[in-house]
Amino acid sequence: MGKLIRVFVLNFVVVFFSCKSTHLFVSPQYSPEESVEYTSLTNWAAHPKKEDEADKIPGESTKANQVDPQADVFFIHPTTFTKVDEKQSWNASLADFKLNKQTDETTIRYQASIFNAAGKIYAPRYRQAQIRAYYSNDKLNTEKAFALAYSDVEAAFLHYINHWNDGRPFIIASHSQGTTHAIPLIKNQIEGTALEQKLIAAYIVGMPVRKDEFDHLQPCDHAEQTSCFVSWRTFRYDHTPTPFVGNQIINTNPLTWKLDGEYADKSLNKGTILRKFNKIYDQRVDAQAVNGMLWAHRPKFPFSFLLKTNNYHIADYNFYYMNVKENAVDRVNAYLERNR
């Protein structure tokens, strides 16, 4: 039984802890590579012209329609480059087959797939910064690492806009390091341009985002609002992280899509996805937005007593999978109705 429990915990971590903390820091040389060629589908973790993990639908054998949707989704995946090795670069290599497979089978399957009913999904591979970039005191290398990662995301987005978007409305969706890059992407390439009118909504989750982060884009405060953004970071009920980031941070409740701080009972949760992708747990996780955090009581599922962490960052999307999925469709429909 002890071995079984350890295996379960390991699998749970592999699926959800794509952005995990570490206290082991190394200082390898920063090694930038050539620019990425985004004309090649190889450099896309998800793309409507290929079969990929983002096409999957929990509990169904059919795949999502990635041919006819009237909107697009540009998804920026979180950190999966977490192995600490003195020989590794600060940035991932796109030729790392094992890492790409891990990215696809975790973040693309379990996060990007949430949006496959809302639109065609474009999720670029990018030279993501190694996880230590969030914790290292080496400012020079961390800044360069994030800059290289962002340059790839921006290049992929511009290629998507120039070659595949064809004037269609779109959603920006991201998690963790993906949100680190989504924020400047919106500021640099969307706000104040013609694309701002095409932005249905931004789901920029897993990082603190200030209420006044953008010049034009405002926080969404109801389920069908468009041209706005949502964001939340999930912690165990009554837990306050250190350092504490307070109420200047936007905190959307993904069960009500409001900013009012009211408690939302787990009965409003239409489906949570945990270790088994095809197993949908109904009414398992509640939510309450409090001072820049989203609080949730520990959900009940097999071996949930082993979940001791107070930080539910890894399940920001998956705790509320079906609610986010439905909401993305609702916002697309609302946008299309308003722009007929």
pLDDT of 281 over the 80 cut: yes
Which residue, among 75, 176, 187, 162, has the nearest Cα to 124 in the 3D structure?
Answer: 75
Domain coordinates in residue numbering, the chain = 2-338
- The arithmetic mean of pLDDT across residues 217-223, rounded, is 96
Q: In this structure, what is the dihedral angle of CA atoms 72, 148, 315, 242, given to the nearest 10 degrees?
A: -140
- Single out the residue of 169, 22, 29, 7 nearest to residue 82, CA to CA: 22
Distances, alpha carbon 18 to alpha carbons 12, 58, 75, 80, 176, in Å:
11, 20, 15, 5, 9
Confidence label for 88 from pLDDT (cuts 50, 70 and 90)? low
User: What's the CA angle centered on 138, arms 132 and 142, to 5 degrees?
Assistant: 60
pLDDT in the model for residue 247: 73
Per-residue model confidence (pLDDT) at position 304: 64
Q: What is the mean pLDDT of residues 186-202?
A: 98
Task: With beta carbons less than 8 A apart as the criterion, state whether 160 and 291 touch.
Answer: no
* Segment among 4-13, 46-55, 130-139, 193-202 with least mean pLDDT: 4-13
> What pLDDT score does 34 carry?
79
Residues 12-66: tens digit of each pLDDT: 333 443 444 333 444 445 455 678 999 999 999 999 999 999 999 999 988 999 9
* pLDDT band at residue 69 under the 50/70/90 scheme: very high
- Taken as a whole, the chain contains a residue count of 340
Q: State how beta strands 280-281 and 272-273 pair.
A: antiparallel
Mean pLDDT of the 55-83 span: 94
Letter for the amino acid at 181? H
pLDDT surpassing 90 at residue 232: yes
What is the C-alpha to C-alpha distance for residues 183 and 117, in angstroms, rounded to an integer?
Answer: 24
- Reported confidence tier of residue 332, pLDDT bands at 50, 70, 90: very high
